[in-house]
Amino acid sequence: MASVPQSESPLPPPPARTAWWAAMAAATLTWAAFFPLDWGMLGWIYPVPLLLLARLTTPPRHLYRALYLAALAGTTASLQWMRLGDTWMIPAWLALSAYTATYVPLFVAITRVAVHRYRVPLGIAGPVTWIGAEFARAHLLTGFAWYFLGHTQYRWTELIQVSDLVGAYGVSFVVALCATALAVTLPARWLVGSGWLPTQHLQQATSNRNRPRATTVAALSLLGLVVAYGVSRRGQSEFTAGPRIALVQGNFLSSLKHDPAARGRIVAIHRRLTGLAVREQPDVIVWPETMFRWPLLESAEGMTDEQLRQAAPRVPPQEWKNPLVRELLGDLASEAGAALVVGLERIEAEPRQMKTFNSAVLVRPDTGLVGRYDKLHRVPFGEYIPLTDLLPWLHHLTPFPADYGVAAGNAATVFRHRSWQLLPLICFEDTVPHLVRSIVSRADQQQRRPDVMVNLTNDGWFHGSSELDQHLVTAAFRSVECRTPMVRAVNTGISAIIDGDGVIREPEMFIDGDAEMAREQALRDESLDREAREARLEMIEAARRTSLQNPRTGRWQRQLNAVLVDVIPLDNRRSIYVATGDWFAGGCGLACLIVILATAARLCRRRDKSVAGSPDS
């Protein structure tokens, strides 16, 4: 795919070590730039080895083999958190690692063709191809919009403000352009002196086609403009006080094998944490995804008992009319004196079928359950088995029965409480940029612009791993893109309040639920004398956590029962990205597709000529 005319490559290709060293360096730096190390400055460097390979006129031996295998090792290490939920998730972990690794050799191949076949400057081809690859990865095979290059810069608040113009892709483009400038300005003599490139390739590596001066000027100019825009845009914010929201965070590990006996304890702990939240007089209390463990049963109007038996043979018909779950939800809101947004499983009976939804419901203290949202973006194999209509045997490769699956919702919902509009998002939906943008855009067109995005997540599958950090950082870009604050109630953590600038804020109140419950138990323990009780209370207070971040390590707190309370800062700014969509990233993707199709057409013509000139023809 990346071949060049013979007249331009008279030398033998560089040795395989050139490809292997660059590929392994890129994979190692990429892994280190993200969590768990979170060395974000490496984001400006890790594309450089790949761009150096694109810079060479003659491709090294074993180029794409080295790129894929090194990338596979890197993606497997980065995504290792997927294996933690259950042993059945190991195949999904390996499959996703193998899939995402393909984008590394694809990036180098397309860039090389654009540069060496179509004479596109590397300063253009590199960043455009990088964004095209990210855009494709965000959409293909249900999409995986994690580990974008721009995500490494979440701390540089001024830089990431460009996300409200073209999405997080804009941040990736700036970083990729700067990395390209570094790649084309590295003196070829340094590459030879380090042993990475043989001496005979010095002249080819010094080609004027790289245009180092123009690329460097463009990179520094764009970086300056983007940072200036970020400073100006942040200065335009006039945050106003919104609802006072309490985020309830339980600490329960998850598995594919849910323990029915644990449901009572899970709900009891969340009720106790809700009681701690009530002390702070919130307007809204949020529970994480599916932490209300009793399903909400609903049936289509007018269904007979016989129809209910046909739709759901394992559910007694009288259960569909049982108001107990609705009453319990109403009692919770009434006791709290606040609206509740609760994650639960909703089961709907229709004539001849039953559907299960991953849902969020709004419950008011005065009127009970008044709104529901069914998750739109499902997780493959976690919530449904893809392609079962075409390949019904696929379920035999999973621990799930043939009828397993969570149905997708029909439409987004905006909850309204008092004067506030709350947009619920469930689980990984907050990591999908085009999904969130389209929901906010549609609500805006209907004069229902959300004031706050409310994410309900269960990250208890991942046992406190780097997934929690990466999920939080990825979600923060949605707030900038939509200029809408987000609150996240996450089982095991990391729960958070994110403002419209993408800043993960320290909450006004961080309540250590474990310390509170331990204190109550010590006070009730009649076996303790006064001295022992005071000693235990002192130990509890010494270990109490009072901040979202651990003051010793600077890392976000996780795997604890907690409550976060804050007044949400409402954002008055509008987002161009919400209004115009992914024209920029889509355009980069289209440019990559054109290069691929043009190369495929050229190869087909070459094959036809070869067949026509063969003796058999």
Distance separating alpha carbons of residues 114 and 119, to the nearest angstrom: 6
Distance separating alpha carbons of residues 134 and 106, to the nearest angstrom: 11
**CATH number for position 425:** 3.60.110.10
Q: What is the pLDDT of residues 181-221, one digit of tens each?
A: 999 998 878 877 777 777 766 666 655 456 889 999 999 99
Torsional sign, CA 217, 218, 221, 223: negative
Which among 108, 113, 115, 100 has a CA at the least distance from the CA of 66? 108
What is the pLDDT averaged over residues 434-449? 94
Q: Measured at the alpha carbon of residue 159, what is the angle toward residues 158 and 163, in degrees to the nearest 5?
A: 105
Q: Are residues 218 and 250 in the same domain?
A: no
Within 186-291, where are the H helices? 188-193, 202-205, 212-235, 263-278
Q: What is the pLDDT of residues 556-599, one digit of tens each?
A: 999 999 999 999 999 999 999 999 999 999 999 999 999 999 99
Give a yes or no: residue 403 inside a domain.
no
Q: Which domain holds residue 275?
A: 243-376+411-569
Torsional sign, CA 423, 426, 429, 435: negative
Cβ 357 vs Cβ 406: under 8 Å = yes
Give a yes or no: residue 456 inside a domain.
yes
Half-sphere exposure of 107 (CA within 13 A, CB side): 31
What would the two tokens of residue 124 be?
């253009």
pLDDT for 396 equals: 55
Q: Are residues 273 and 212 in the same domain?
A: no
Domain total in the chain: 2
Q: Are residues 436 and 544 in the same domain?
A: yes
Distance separating alpha carbons of residues 176 and 181, to the nearest angstrom: 9
Dihedral over alpha carbons 374, 246, 439, 229 (to 10 degrees): -160
Reported as a pLDDT band with limits 50, 70 and 90, residue 257 is low
Q: Are residues 350 and 495 in the same domain?
A: yes
Q: What is the pLDDT of residues 281-338, one digit of tens each?
A: 999 999 999 999 999 999 888 888 888 888 888 889 888 989 999 999 999 999 999 9
- In this predicted structure, the answer to whether residue 609 has a pLDDT above a threshold of 80 is no
Q: What is the pLDDT of residues 133-159, one digit of tens each?
A: 999 999 998 899 999 999 999 999 999
For residue 325, what are the contacts with CB-CB under 8 A and spacing of at least 6? 294, 295, 296, 297
Give a yes or no: residue 384 inside a domain.
no
Q: Are residues 294 and 168 in the same domain?
A: no
Cβ 294 vs Cβ 268: under 8 Å = no
Reported as a pLDDT band with limits 50, 70 and 90, residue 171 is very high
Kindly state the DSSP code that residue 385 receives in the 8-state scheme.
Answer: -
Q: Are residues 194 and 258 in the same domain?
A: no
Distance separating alpha carbons of residues 84 and 86, to the nearest angstrom: 6
Cβ 349 vs Cβ 312: under 8 Å = yes
Q: What is the pLDDT of residues 399-430, one digit of tens each?
A: 555 566 788 899 999 999 999 999 999 999 99
Reported as a pLDDT band with limits 50, 70 and 90, residue 6 is very low
Distance separating alpha carbons of residues 325 and 310, to the nearest angstrom: 23
User: How far are the Cα atoms of 162, 230, 273, 429 from residue 224, in angstroms, in the given order?
Assistant: 12, 10, 46, 32
Q: Measured at the alpha carbon of residue 481, what is the angle toward residues 466 and 570, in degrees to the nearest 5?
A: 100
Is the N-terminal amide bond of 36 cis, ω within 30° of 0?
A: yes
Q: Average pLDDT of the chain?
A: 91
pLDDT for 3 equals: 46
Sheet of 420-426: strand order equals 415-417, 420-426, 452-458, 486-491, 496-498, 504-505
Give a yes or no: residue 441 inside a domain.
yes
Give a yes or no: residue 199 inside a domain.
yes
Q: Are residues 528 and 589 in the same domain?
A: no
Q: What is the pLDDT of residues 477-520, one digit of tens each?
A: 999 999 999 999 999 999 999 999 999 999 999 999 999 999 99
What is the pLDDT averaged over residues 261-265? 84
pLDDT for 616 equals: 56
Q: Are residues 48 and 115 in the same domain?
A: yes
Give a yes or no: residue 312 inside a domain.
yes
- In this predicted structure, the answer to whether residue 12 has a pLDDT above a threshold of 90 is no
Q: Are residues 219 and 282 in the same domain?
A: no
Which among 462, 458, 500 has a CA at the least distance from the CA of 482? 500
What is the pLDDT averaged over residues 3-12? 54
Q: What is the pLDDT of residues 445-470, one digit of tens each?
A: 988 999 999 999 999 999 999 999 99
SS (H, E, C) 310-351: HHCCCCCHHHHHCCHHHHHHHHHHHHHCCEEEEEEEEEEEEC
pLDDT for 91 equals: 87
Q: Are residues 230 and 327 in the same domain?
A: no
Q: What is the pLDDT of residues 93-137, one digit of tens each?
A: 999 999 999 999 999 999 999 999 999 999 999 999 999 999 999
Give a yes or no: residue 417 inside a domain.
yes
The region, left, alpha or beta by phi > 0 then psi within -120 to 50, assigned to residue 294 is: beta
pLDDT for 613 equals: 66
User: How far are the Cα atoms of 31, 197, 214 from residue 190, in angstroms, in the given order?
Assistant: 25, 9, 21
Give a yes or no: residue 399 inside a domain.
no
Q: Are residues 175 and 287 in the same domain?
A: no
Q: What is the pLDDT of residues 371-389, one digit of tens each?
A: 999 999 988 766 776 666 6
Q: Are residues 205 and 286 in the same domain?
A: no
pLDDT for 300 equals: 86
